Chain A
Amino acid sequence: MKKAWVAGILSLVSIFVFSRMSPEFLDWHFLVTNSTTYVEVGLLALGMTFVIVAGQIDLSVASLMALVACLAALLLKKGASIEEVVGFALVAGAFLGYVNGFLVAKLKLPSFLVTLGTLAVYRGMAQAILGPRSVEIPHQFVGIDQVGVAGIPDPVLLFAILAAVTGLLLHQTVFGRWVVATGSNESAARYSGVPTEKVKIAVFVLTGVLAGIGALLMISRLGVARFDLASGQELDAITIVVVGGASIMGGQGSMLGTVLSLCLIDIIKTGMGVANVKLPYQLTVIGILLILAVLAINGSELLARWKSSRTSQQSFKSQPSG
């Protein structure tokens, strides 16, 4: 749990730095409205936390979100009601996630390659359906980011609720324990009665559902759908989860860390935008940040390993011979 706080501390530091760089940064209203842009990738990161803690990876999330967004946009254009579209997005997200889960858990294929394939398939389907054109969203569905309760936009509220629910699911339920067990040692988990196959399918389905919700928020915010929506955001989601202290090898990670890390990236990107830092510099900063954060998170472990290797050598030397 301690690792999660690295992102929290970094967030505070960057708030301090950016408020020094530009006095306009600490405008609460601006910060909150601006954060609606990060809700969708945040939802991807919530799902990705489960996937990574279970020792898997899902490269297809952004493509999945784009595909659901395009299909939902077409349904809306055909005149489907909002309830129908919401239902459709959840089911479609779950189904596409299930396809990943099935290939990984039942057919025992490596998740990196499976989701690399579905990354292309899902976005390819969106492209095959829409081609280069964009679909406009009917106005009654547009603008969820413009309404809110007590000045907090609805997407942010929804994200907070989902983050709390998924956090409880990961840390307070038997299912959460199963996810951690599957990620730390799969065969040990299987022998102690954890249904590892079902757990793996479940984490991919959950990710799909969250991406489906993200798709709805995205088309409502943007007012259009295109096949190349959210392109490359799978890497952002993985970055957020890893900076949040999850181990890419599985078995470790916390929802709190993911949320704090999302805040950190939100603050840094917004802050650099306000301070008029150009996009390429932003890219460099985010990339270096990822590596530094992981070094910081693993720093204590590296140190411990180094120390223990020294002491074990010493004890080996000091053992009496014969």
Chain B
Amino acid sequence: MNGVRRELISASLIVILCLFAWIREPRFFEPQSLNSILLYLPMVAIAAVGQLPVILTGGIDISVGSILGFTGIAVGLMFQSNSHLPIVAAFLFSGLAGGLLGAVNGALVSWGRLPAIVVTIGTLSAFRGLTFLLSRGNQVDSTMLPSSFTNLVQQGIHIGSVTLNEPLLLVFLFAFVASIGLGYTQFGRNVYSVGNNIKAAYLRGISTQWILFSVYAFSGFTAGVSGAIYASRFGFVNPESAGKSFELTVIAAVAIGGVKITGGYGSVLGALLGCLFLACLNVALSVLGINANWQLMVYGLLIILAVLLDSLLRMTKRKAAV
């Protein structure tokens, strides 16, 4: 049973979901719905890649939605003051702004020794307040953003009528960096050891505080990049609603991807599969014409089922080991 990779199960869940949607409504496999899936992915996937190391250390980052809102507004204001700002620079600045906010979380969790859930609930509202201060209550709308920026999601590599939009390339970049970082470096191994047993990690000479600090800063950075993608995808950013309950989507994606919420187990591929699952689910619900009022409930049930499945798998594994 140990040989069965958790990622395979996530992948087969996606296949089952898609087949089910396809049988009920053949339109599901048309390019249009594939495009919607690809459009949904980048924002969630990049933030999920950032959330993953945080959860691997046994922490949680609830403030990502507020960071997304803050950086979305920041991107709008940057373009307003300088409409010739290169798009790469906009993404970079947005990421750095997010990284700065994430560093606040990181400092409080590592050197302040406060529980992550408390810190990030606090910064969830504090950062939302900062977003209002930054925007002075005004919304960023498409007149403030250059069209080259808002067209980003329509551009990219066209395969037939399917578009691999440009933000997807960022997903690959982040996923690649995170997989190498977590899987093949000392830093990554240290992240896993902190999640498995922080005291043991500390006694082995791992600088646990730096590890904690950097995973939250990285999570903030990815949420910042997601903020820029939000601005480019929707063309407007509302200081109040942008990124509201985004944290729940991200955490749900990571959990569905088989990452252990108490830390120490999980992979980038798993997190990405979790995001793909949510993307397929969202599109399937709308293609199947399921009343929008029912979507939230289905969403919640699936989170519980995914967690249940995970625990069943662990139990059978434990029994097999005995």
Residues of A participating in the B interface, judged by any CB pair closer than 8 Å: 57, 103, 107-110, 112-114, 116-125, 127-128, 131-132, 235, 238-239, 242, 248-249, 278-291, 294-295, 298, 302
Contact = CB atoms under 8 A, between A and B. Distances in A.
Contacts of A122: 300
B237 interface: no
B119 interface: yes
B122 interface: yes
Contacts of B115: 248-249, 294
Interface in B217-265: 239, 248, 251-252, 255, 261-262
B112 A127 contact: no
A123 B311 contact: no
Nearest to A112: B261
A248 B129 contact: no
A280 B133 contact: yes
A281 B296 CA distance: 31
Interface in B107-148: 108, 112-115, 117-119, 121-133, 137
Contact of A113 (B62, B123, B255, B297): B255
Contact of A295 (B114, B123, B130): B114
Interface of B: 60, 62, 108, 112-115, 117-119, 121-133, 137, 239, 248, 251-252, 255, 261-262, 291, 293-301, 303-304, 307-308, 311
A124 B297 contact: yes
Contacts of B60: 112
18 contacts: A113-B261, A113-B304, A117-B301, A118-B300, A118-B304, A119-B300, A120-B303, A121-B301, A127-B293, A127-B294, A235-B124, A238-B121, A248-B118, A249-B115, A283-B125, A287-B128, A290-B121, A290-B125
Nearest to B125: A287
A242 B133 CA distance: 26
Contact of A124 (B124, B126, B133, B298): B298
Contacts of B108: 291
A185 to B, nearest CB: 16
A110 B262 contact: yes
B114 A291 contact: yes
A72 B126 CA distance: 35
A12 B126 CA distance: 23
Nearest to B105: A291
Given A117-B301, A283-B126, 15 more contacts: A116-B252, A120-B248, A120-B303, A121-B296, A124-B294, A131-B293, A238-B118, A239-B122, A242-B118, A248-B118, A280-B131, A287-B123, A289-B122, A294-B119, A294-B122
Given A127-B296, A128-B293, A288-B122, A116 B114 contact: no
A121 B299 CA distance: 7
B79 to A, nearest CB: 22
A291 B119 contact: yes
Nearest to B132: A280
A125 B297 contact: yes
Nearest to A125: B297
Nearest to B121: A235
Given A109-B308, A121-B297, A238-B121, A298 B129 contact: no
Contacts of A113: 255, 261, 303-304, 307
Nearest to A99: B304
Contacts of A295: 112, 114
A286 B308 CA distance: 35
Closest 10 CB pairs of A and B: A124-B297, A120-B300, A280-B132, A284-B129, A287-B126, A124-B296, A121-B300, A287-B125, A117-B304, A283-B129
B128 A290 contact: no
B128 A114 contact: no
Nearest to A282: B129
Contact of B126 (A118, A278, A279, A284): A284
B251 A116 contact: yes
Contact of A119 (B122, B124, B248, B255): B248
A116 B305 CA distance: 12
A283 B121 CA distance: 11
B220 to A, nearest CB: 15
A290 B108 CA distance: 12
B146 to A, nearest CB: 28
B307 A109 contact: yes
Contacts of A118: 300, 304
B17 to A, nearest CB: 17
Contacts of A119: 248, 300
Nearest to A305: B113
Contacts of A248: 115, 117-118
Given A116-B252, A291-B108, A298-B113, A284 B130 contact: yes
Contacts of B132: 278-281, 283
B202 to A, nearest CB: 11
Nearest to A291: B122
A117 B112 contact: no
Contacts of A112: 60, 117, 261
Q: Count chain A CB atoms within 10 A of each CB in B121, B133, B255, B299 and give the residue with the most.
A: B121
A170 to B, nearest CB: 20
A280 B128 contact: yes
Contacts of A282: 129
Contacts of A121: 296-297, 300-301, 304
Q: Count chain A CB atoms within 10 A of each CB in B126, B295, B296 and give the residue with the most.
A: B296
Nearest to A249: B115
A287 B125 CA distance: 5
A131 B121 CA distance: 29
Given A109-B311, A113-B303, A290-B122, A281 B297 contact: no
